[in-house]
Structure 1
Amino acid sequence: MKEEREGANTQISKMEAEDDKTLFFLDSMDNYLILIETLSSSLRQGWLELASARHSMGASRVNTALLSLKNHSAATKVELDYDDYDSSTIKSPHFSLCKWTSTDDKNSSLEKQNIEEGEQVKENLSSWECVKYFLCMYIQKERAKVLSMFGTLVSPKLRASQLSFETALETLVELSNVRSSILKAHDAILKDKKKTTE
């Protein structure tokens, strides 16, 4: 009787584990579809804002001829790491976005201005606030630097377009991570199905 009860409990716990995996798979699929819609919306918004900026600033100021074709360091990078949840399963890839990680001209006037402004602020802020302030300031300067190829006075729509495309890039990385979790969950469900049929 005790063995039967233990067997029934084991069977119930296996079924619950399978249900959890299935629910996780369905939740991941739902999240994936939401992110696809978010990506589409961000890209659409970005292209509309870019078209509006081109209309207000003129086609000669906003076009591909202004883009630098020289080799330069990427300002934004995607890093790949592998999550190892347990040794019996395949390692799952995890993507992370590192924005504004490098600049080509470290001795630029913007860099010097950052140092000068930073020295003034450092005395008035705590260490964590200081880090947040410098990070925010650095990102703003880098964004301005990228847009400087379009002239000194750029349309607010061009700045809005830049932020929309940044959001789209962040969403793409999220999509990659969710897709990775979907594949992992799908693989786990197939393995459980295979075990029950054997």
Structure 2
Amino acid sequence: MQISENRNESTDKLREADQHVLNFLDSMDTYLNLMDSLSSTLRQGWLELASARHSMGAARVSCTLFDLKSHRASTTLEVDNVDSNVEPPHFKLCKWVALDDSEMNNGEAKCKDDELSPAKAETPLALDEVPQARRAESGESPVSPDDHVQQARSRSLSMFGTLVSPKLRATQTSFERAMEMLVEISNARASLLHAHNQVQKDVKAAK
């Protein structure tokens, strides 16, 4: 009876070790694919920026137009499970955070993972229901969160003039996507390191 229990325990450990190896290989594959996609996205963004600079002129697309004053960050990064030894840290991107206190009351921060989690039905992106009801009563069209995001994107390009090249807007979208991919890569790398540590522990235990 004791021998049978020992065999079952040994089999369970082998299956767990095999699962850790599979998790490590899956994490490595995800990480490499994301790195390749990031390279392509950045290359596309730089080509679109060069095209916009060519069509609008070097004077209109230049770093000298940047507003170097201090501003509230429009994009923030949140980190969970920092001190956890069981789960890897998780990075979450919050894009287009409101730029003033009145907008902050409406909560225009869009976190990348919020729309994916059913437990977070009331996301920071949700608008106040009272102003929405007032707009409906007055016959005005309700303002959706996507409208606020588009307005924020347009404001960020206003330094280049009122009429900007479609290529410049495409550049903004490409680099925004690249920023999202950097967060995905950070999560993939955290999972990769966590899986690697588990494999290392299994190897030491086997010795």
TM-score band, normalised by the shorter chain? 0.7 to 0.9
Give the drift of 1:80. Answer: 1.2
Of 110, 119, 123, which aligns to 2:136? 123
User: 1:38 aligns to what?
Assistant: 37
User: CA shift at 1:12, angstroms?
Assistant: 1.0
CA drift at 1:194: 1.1
Going from structure 1 to structure 2, the CA distance change for 1:157 and 1:103 (only over 3 Å counts) comes to same
CA contact (8 A) 1:81 1:93 kept: yes
AA of the residue aligned to 1:103: L
Q: Alpha-carbon deviations, 1:123-142, whole Å to 9, x = none?
A: 39xxxxx7xx6210110000
Between structures 1 and 2, the one with greater helix share: 1
Q: Structure 1 length as normaliser, TM-score?
A: 0.82
Structure 2, gaps ≥5 residues long: 104-126
Matches within 5 A, 1:1-198: 2-82=1-81, 89=85, 92-104=88-100, 119=132, 123=136, 134-197=144-207
The offset of 1:83, in angstroms, is 6.5
Distance 1:165 1:121, change over 3 A: farther
TM-score normalized by the length of structure 2: 0.79
Q: 1:163 to 1:3 in 2, by over 3 A?
A: same
**1:38 is aligned with what amino acid?**
S
Distance, in Å, in 1 between the alignment partners of 2:60 and 2:16 is 59
In structure 2, distance between residues paired with 1:68 and 1:151: 13
- RMSD between aligned alpha carbons? 2.5
What is the percentage of aligned positions where both structures have the same residue? 50
Paired with 2:92 and 2:193, the residues of 1 have a C-alpha distance of 18
Q: Aligned residue pairs: how many?
A: 178
AA aligned opposite 2:151:
K
For 1:76, give the aligned amino acid: T
Is residue 72–residue 104 contact of structure 1 (8 Å, CA) maintained in 2? Answer: no
Structure 1: unaligned runs, 5 residues or longer = 108-113, 125-129
